[in-house]
Structure 1
Amino acid sequence: MTLETLFAIIVFLMMAIVGTDITRGQLDASLRMRRALAGGTLGQLVLLPMLALLMIWLLQPHPALAVGLLLIAVSPGGVLSNYYCSVARLNVAFSIALTAVSGVVALAAMPLLFAALVPAALGLEAFRVPVGEMTARLVLFLLLPVALGMALRHRFPAVFERGRRLVRVFGFSLLAVFLALLFADQREAVAALFGEAVVLTAGFTLLALLAGWVSGRVLSLDPGDRLVLAIEFGVRNAGIAALLAVTTFQQREFAVFSAFFVLLQAPLLLIAVMLRRRLADSPDPGLRVG
């Protein structure tokens, strides 16, 4: 079995697990927030690619990291955002709805945005962007497995409710295996690009969080939902970005930034959400947030 095939299987399973975490009730409740969902999704499509271009123009990173950042910026929201919102005791249903909607929109938006961004960031002759092939892979490894997971959840709700923690642990285990395989395969590139990747990840994450918070204010969301939107802006579907890098473009080096992004971003966001949770649990009313 090739590494590309193994990556594809892992990403398919991870996206199916995402689907098992989506219930009809959660979506129905969040879809009532149509303005917030539409505005939040549009904000991601417009602001995140602009922030990626800004980072590339300012820092002039290695081309592999630049392409990796562009793939991350145009990717849909990542399922880890739902976990971070759960830890912070925020509106998880809103986070799940944002992740689901951005995933559907990505089927059309991601290939087109990436095709437009590459010339702007790397020059007109950088490389050909196969829009049709990207779209087909997104349908196969994003829409199809999520729909399958939702169907299984609908058919066996009690099973998935009882085994929710086990399913989540399995999903995190798949992510860990994915990162380990990618780092092992690209260990030389990982060592060479580590410093630049840290700066890019930290800079893009902070700018994305700020953009999400400001978007929430523009949409007149309450403070808690602004935090949800900020987290959703910051957390991207690195698995899809990496899979496209190694299959559609056949450049494993492009996927290195996706692995860095997940690994380096996690401590930043976990510290932030744990701090928010502690403040929310504080008995002093003056310290409460959201």
Structure 2
Amino acid sequence: MDQSIALTVGLPVALAIIMLGLGLSLTPDDFKRVLTYPKAVIVALFCQVVLLPALCFGLCYVFALPPELAVGMLLLAASPGGTSANLYSHLAHGDVALNITLTAINSVLAIVTLPLIVNGALLHFFNDGQVLPLQFDKILQVFAIVLVPVIVGMILRHKAPGFAHRMDKPVRAFSLIFLFAVVILVAVTQWKVLLGSLGAIGGAVLVFNLLSLGVGYVVPRLVGINAKQATAIGMEIGIHNSTLSMAIAMSPVLLNSPQMALPSAVYGGLAFITAALFGMLVSKQAQRAG
């Protein structure tokens, strides 16, 4: 891969800006709110951190994915929910406050769980003794690029709420533009690989996306969580932060693998369609129940 300044510096800086924007939208109350509905948060975290990676691991074998794509799938599964989950949850009449709380907790928790899951995937799927690209020094880099900007954003919101409010829309717009730019970059640099494995990637990503939405809604309902909170959990788990996972995969200072970004690139476009359909479905069910 071309070790250009645009990738070596640009990707981490862009990722840091995105995470800064997330921090600008969070407050300490978003973390404290876990005490209001601990059951919903615990169930959501179990689905996000344990159940989905396990299901994703199985899908990699069902679809016989090559190692790079399998690791890319696990990277996607380990990524926290995207901030757009809040919007989709609102449109589907979910508990948006719960979404915000889960986004806050997942963003911090992913600093630990994401490197662990990705390292485990690298160890398992690349069993040739190669040096792992995401060892302890890389974990520190993920920490610096992801968590530190979130903390800075939260401090800015507390110290300068007016500035945080003004920056919200520009940062969100930047995040969307960056998502499209990375998808295009992945498609251009990996066009032949994408065409050659689109059937496997597309099928695996679609099934994983549907499982994410389904597990996020059905499991909470099975344990007695109300439909509004289950909708929020379904959106939070069903819309993974593909921008984050693509940036980590593509960045030369992290995984440095455009092929590992392919599942997230496909997922980035697909998830918004399935989430909209999922939202319509649960909204109709809620109306019939009401």
Q: Shared fold by TM > 0.5?
A: yes
Residues 1:204 and 2:208 are matched in the alignment: yes
Tell me what 2:261 maps to. 255
- The runs of 5 or more residues in structure 1 that have no matched partner are none
Residue 276 of structure 2 is aligned with which of 257, 270, 275? 270
Residues 1:68 and 2:63 are matched in the alignment: no
The alpha-carbon deviation at position 72 of structure 1 amounts to: 0.9
Give the Cα–Cα distance (whole angstroms) in 2 for the partners of residues 31 and 175 of structure 1.
34
Q: Which amino acid aligns with 1:240?
A: L
Give the Cα–Cα distance (whole angstroms) in 1 for the partners of residues 52 and 85 of structure 2.
16
Q: Which amino acid aligns with 1:153?
A: R
Residues 1:125 and 2:128 are matched in the alignment: yes
Residue 245 of structure 1 is aligned with which of 233, 237, 249? 249
The alpha-carbon deviation at position 126 of structure 1 amounts to: 6.7
The total of aligned residue pairs comes to 283
Give the Cα–Cα distance (whole angstroms) in 2 for the partners of residues 91 and 97 of structure 1.
10
Q: Deviations over 1:225-277 (max 9, x none)?
A: 11111222222222332233233232222112211111122211123224545
Give the Cα–Cα distance (whole angstroms) in 2 for the partners of residues 108 and 163 of structure 1.
28
Residues 1:57 and 2:24 are matched in the alignment: no
Tell me what 1:96 maps to. 100
Give the Cα–Cα distance (whole angstroms) in 2 for the partners of residues 159 and 115 of structure 1.
38
Secondary structure in 2 aligned to 1:2? helix
Give the Cα–Cα distance (whole angstroms) in 2 for the partners of residues 6 and 113 of structure 1.
25
Q: Deviations over 1:4-30 (max 9, x none)?
A: 422212211111111112234444434
Q: 1:221 to 1:128 in 2, by over 3 A?
A: farther
Counterparts of 1:1-290 in structure 2, within 5 Å, are 1-120=5-124, 122=125, 124-125=127-128, 127-129=130-132, 130-161=134-165, 164-246=168-250, 247=252, 248-277=254-283, 286=288, 288=290
Q: 1:5 to 1:202 in 2, by over 3 A?
A: same
Contact 1:118 1:126 in 2 (8 A): no
Q: Which amino acid aligns with 2:128?
A: E
- The runs of 5 or more residues in structure 2 that have no matched partner are none
The alpha-carbon deviation at position 162 of structure 1 amounts to: 5.4
Q: Which moved more, 1:239-248 or 1:146-155?
A: 239-248
Contact 1:75 1:106 in 2 (8 A): yes
Give the Cα–Cα distance (whole angstroms) in 1 for the partners of residues 256 and 10 of structure 2.
14
**Percent identity of paired positions between Structure 1 and Structure 2:** 25
Give the Cα–Cα distance (whole angstroms) in 1 for the partners of residues 128 and 152 of structure 2.
39
Q: 1:286 to 1:75 in 2, by over 3 A?
A: closer
Q: Which amino acid aligns with 1:286?
A: R
Q: 1:4 to 1:257 in 2, by over 3 A?
A: farther
Contact 1:30 1:93 in 2 (8 A): no
* Root mean square deviation of aligned Cα: 2.5
For normalisation by structure 1, the TM-score amounts to 0.86
Q: Deviations over 1:176-196 (max 9, x none)?
A: 223223323323323323222
The alpha-carbon deviation at position 278 of structure 1 amounts to: 6.5
Give the Cα–Cα distance (whole angstroms) in 2 for the partners of residues 165 and 240 of structure 1.
19
Give the Cα–Cα distance (whole angstroms) in 2 for the partners of residues 72 and 191 of structure 1.
20
Q: Which moved more, 1:163-172 or 1:13-22?
A: 163-172
